[in-house]
Amino acid sequence: MEPIIEFKNFSFKYRSQKEPTLKDINLKIYPGEKVLIIGPSGSGKSTLAHCINGLVPFSYSGEITGEYTIAGKDPKKLDIFELSKSVGTVLQDTDGQFIGLTVAEDLAFALENDEVPTKELHERVDKIAKEVDVKNLLEHAPTELSGGQKQRVSMGGVMISDVDILLLDEPLANLDPATGKHTMELIDEINKSKGTTIVVIEHRLEDALFRGADRIVVVGDGKIVSDSTPDELICKDILEEQGIREPLYVTAIKHAGGKLTEEMTPSRIDTIDVSSVKELVKSWHDKNAVFCEEEKGETILEGKDIYFSYDGKEKVLENVNFSVSKGEMLAIVGKNGAGKSTLSSLICGFNKPTSGELLFRGKDMSDLSIAERGEKIGLVMQNPNHMISKPMIFDEVALGLSIRGIPEKEIKERVEKILRVCGLYPFRNWPISALSFGQKKRVTIASILVMDPEIMILDEPTAGQDYRHYTEIMNFLKDINEKLGVTIIMITHDMHLMLEYTKRALVLADGKILADTTPARVLTDETLSDKAYLKKTSLYDLAEMCDIEDPTAFCETFIAFEQRER
Amino acid sequence: MSRVLSYEEKNTWIHRLCGVTKLIFFLLWSLTSMLTYDTRVLLVMLVLSIVILRASKTEWRQIGTVFKFILFFLFINLIAIYVLAPNQGTLIYGTDTYVCHLFKGHDLNQEMIFYEINVFLKYMTVVPTVFIFLVTTNPSEFAASMNRVGISYKIGYAIAISLRYIPDIQSDFVKIKNAQQARGIEMAKKAPFFQRIKHICAILFPLVFSSMDRIDVVSNAMELRGFGKHKKRTWYMGKALKKSDYIVVAFVVLFSAVALFVTFRDGSRFYNPFI
């Protein structure tokens, strides 16, 4: 069979760069295959995707050496439009990809551009809407859709042109774990029922493997470092070398001293055969079991009977009670729209609760202005570009102080101190535009820390970060938490984050607090994790398979072990 | 607020008209109203626009807030005209029929009252048609309509896409404003002018830069789905012109012609009852 995508000794160099981003790529993908391309940020995996869909060289120009064919044609001789008939791309940012004013128009967009008559448009939109299950949403505007629904529309919008190849760029990045599961199911269905070739770019390996894959291609530093079946890959050390997170249950087995072999089919938790490592895992758990001692500091922030509604009718928050102790690292979890962001906006004073009170160190905060609260409680937004308003790093970090009229000498001292804490001191005179996304995030955290807040709220601190950067940011936050004693509240749906870095999770669902317990308990309780749109962790399944009585305790053992090792 | 003046699906003959028909109607109607000061024409137009507004089943809650807002500014406008040019009526109509004395230098005469009534009528004839156009035309149809009257689809789509992203940018704006306020940037009116400008920049820069990122994504997404491939494109929301559309267009053309003829027959835009 002829490959549908083929790269032969292929290299690519962006016009603005000295070194080639892709080096000597040899890759064959056959029709009907489902291939996962993984690699850390900056490895060149997105550039590889751009070569497949034609953004390289048609939108991002550069120098190509070697040969490649897509759907049997030489892309250099086509244009991006011709290529888009064979390759459908679903971008990571489904908000940006949603072009139409309504779902129906967005689905029709590609066909409209191809001058398909209006009558036929309606027929084909109806058909594709059924396939991606958005039939009852056709009249909806993008603002009325959830992240998962938007993504389904994006998929429909490219599949409507009967593409041979569906290319998905980090489809899981903006979704909560439960929705991510549905996405992988849908991709699998499309692959099986229509025979569409699927190429998924991801760095969340465990989630991407939920429904398996035919092959995994690992890209590292512009080269293909591995091309094998998932089972083969899991047994090798390549993941660790490349800074890609292996599935949690795999890590746990390795901690226990178990050896993985291909025969165990270890790439999926639902296929793995643990009989050979069962006893090892069990005894490891018994040896390392921990008892979490409950130590509680003084209460710093408290919410009492909070109700909130934007329009006086629909309750966004209902009977919310919570308390946060000094020095805690706490996660607020729940699906989009559960009220997480609303709660943080009440704490920061952007909105006022309809009833109930918020206490800071026992004092009601309702009389404090936004700026006054900002000195005690700092907020770091998800997108650093939403916060940065100065061209230079020093000025950006100094902004909060200079606005408060603090003398210049003191500003300089405080800013430099914080820049050192944040590892940004060497860059202090750099323009912010020269920084990477992760570094920008640090700048925004520094610009909040400089005001000496007692509590810091972070909205999805690790969104869009690969494992290495994720670890960097989280260790940094942990440091701040320990060294400066700043209480840290994180709004997140990253299960790893809550499991590894927080001791407590508030679960919000439909505006109510559903649970206030340890992350391990949330992620091993199926009803609870379902309601929070999270996913039961694979550690739970592993514990069950190994006949460990208390899977939650196993989870805690694992986390404690990881923290000790790190 | 988002619901005010936005399109609402209803089943009336006006809703069923093509967007392009309504666009032509609105443009010609406003042009006529702008040109004429003939009270008889204006009265006929006022009655007609109220009839159409009723026929479109537009409800008060859809337009009430904005209507009150317009009325408020209209009255300020009317008062300003009187304060600044109390003899405008006499200048136009040539007579001075004393009514009463108001304050220093400002007598009130019938001509002035009549002139102000005409100004008021002009607004009142246009405002309902604006409302009708906005609340009965699906925004999705704007681009298709503009393309129909001969404007390039790329321009039409630029407008459609800004309608698409306005809510996103609005929510970005609120987020950024909140975060900057928390850092101590007050939007208070007390601050000196230059400081306020600086503070506004602290919100606008992040907004502009994050919007630029978005533009990059959106243009890639559009290109990957073949936007700009051909000289023409079709429209999912495009409607074929029907008999009723032709009737409406014919009516508005005819009406404008007659109205302008009646207005300018005596060589003046004004209808003068004082002579």
Query: Looking at residue A432, what DSSP letter applies?
Result: G
User: How many angstroms away from the CA of A264 is the closest CA of chain B?
Assistant: 41
Q: Which residues of B touch A95 (CB under 8 A)?
A: 168
pLDDT of residue A282: 94
Number of compact structural domains in chain A: 3
pLDDT at A90: 95
Output phi, psi for A431, to 5 deg: -75, 145
Give the pLDDT score at A92. Answer: 87
Other Cβ atoms less than 10 A from the Cβ of B79: the count is 11
Q: Do the domain assignments include residue A533?
A: no
Q: Please state, as a whole number, how many other Cβ atoms lie within 10 Å of the Cβ of residue A94.
A: 25
- A349 and A419 share a domain? yes
Dihedral over Cα of A351, A355, A360, A365: its sign: positive
Would A529 be classed as within a structural domain? no
* Predicted local distance difference test score (pLDDT) of residue B32: 95
Same domain, A91 and A237: yes
Q: Please tell me the predicted confidence (pLDDT) of residue B147.
A: 87
Convert the pLDDT of each residue in A407-434 to its tens digit.
999 999 999 999 998 888 998 888 888 8
pLDDT of residue B54 exceeding 70 = yes
**Res A437: pLDDT:** 80
What is d(CA A468, CA A475) in angstroms, rounded to the nearest whole number? 11
Question: Is B180 exposed, middle or buried, given 0-12, 13-18 or 19+ CB atoms closer than 10 A?
Answer: buried
pTM of the model: 0.85
Task: With a cut of 80, say whether residue A464 has pLDDT above it.
Answer: no
Contact A371/B182, CB-based, under 8 Å?
yes
Tell me, what DSSP letter sits at residue A392? B
Mean of pLDDT values over A221-236: 95
CATH number, domain containing residue A493 = 3.40.50.300
Of chain A, the percentage scoring pLDDT greater than 70 comes to 99
Partner-chain residue, chosen from B179, B182, B201, that has the shortest CB–CB distance to A373: B182
Q: Are residues A334 and A285 in the same domain?
A: no
Please report, for chain B, the start and end positions of each structural domain, with discontinuous segments joined by +: 13-138+239-264, 146-224
More confident call, A290 vs A200? A200
Of all helices (H) and strands (E), which one includes residue A57? Answer: helix A55-58
Q: What is the pLDDT of residues A513-536, one digit of tens each?
A: 999 999 999 999 989 988 888 889
**pLDDT tens, residue by residue, A90-146:** 998 888 899 999 999 999 999 999 999 999 999 999 999 999 999 999 999 888 898
* Residue B154 φ then ψ, to 5°: -70, -40
Residue B7: its pLDDT value, please? 82
Q: Which range marks the domain in which residue A260 is found?
A: 247-292+538-566
Residues 184-223 of A with CB under 8 A from B: none
pLDDT at B4: 63
| A374 at B interface, C-beta within 8 A | yes
Mean pLDDT of A392-420: 92
User: Is residue A202 within 8 Å of A38, Cβ to Cβ?
Assistant: yes
- Across the range B192-206, mean pLDDT stands at 82
Supply the angle between the helices A393-403 and A437-449 in degrees, to the nearest 10.
20
Contact map slice: A 125-164 vs B, CB within 8 A: 125, 141-143, 157-158, 161
- Whether A451 has its CB under 8 Å from any CB of chain B: the answer is yes
For residue A276, what are its two tokens?
């050979």
Tell me which of A60, A101, A449 to substitute to probe the interface with B (most B C-beta atoms closer than 10 Å).
A101
B161, B229, B232: residue with CB nearest A81: B229
Contact B184 A118 (CB under 8 A): no
Beta strands B98-103 and B106-109 are: antiparallel
The per-residue pLDDT for A514 is 93
Cβ atoms A129, A107 nearer than 8 A: yes
Instruction: Let me know: does A510 contact A308? Beta carbons within 8 Å.
Output: no
Would residue A361 count as lying in a domain? yes
pLDDT tens across B27-47, in order? Answer: 999 999 999 999 999 999 999
Nearest to A202 by CA among A430, A435, A45: A45
Integer Cα distance of A255 and A385 in angstroms: 39
Residue A216 and residue A226 in one domain: yes
Cβ of B178 within 8 Å of Cβ of A371? The answer is no
**Complex prediction ipTM:** 0.85
pLDDT of residue B188: 60
Name, in order, each residue with C-beta under 8 angstroms of A35's C-beta and a sequence gap of 6 or more: A29, A197, A198, A199, A200, A213, A214, A215, A216, A217
Q: Residue B1: is its pLDDT beyond 60? A: no
Residue A525 lies in a domain: no
Q: How confident is the model at residue B2 (pLDDT cuts 50, 70, 90)?
A: very low
- Tell me the per-residue pLDDT of A11-34, one tens digit each, with 9 for 90 and over: 999 998 899 999 999 999 999 999
And the tokens for B112?
């002035």
Of A297 and B128, more confident: B128
Q: How does the average pLDDT of chain A come out, rounded?
A: 92
The verdict on residue A526 lying in a domain is: no
Q: Which residues in chain B have Cβ-Cβ distances shorter than 8 Å to A125?
A: 236
User: In this complex, do A345 and B178 lie within 8 Å of one another by their Cβ atoms?
Assistant: yes
Which range (A199-208, A462-471, A503-512, B81-90) has the least confidence? A462-471
Quick: pLDDT tens for B253-262.
999 999 999 9
What pLDDT, on a 0 to 100 scale, did the predictor assign at position B142?
81
Q: Is A522 contained in some domain? A: no
A267 pLDDT more than 90:
yes
The reply to whether A138 and A176 lie within a common domain is yes
Tens-place pLDDT, residues A475-494: 989 999 998 899 999 999 88
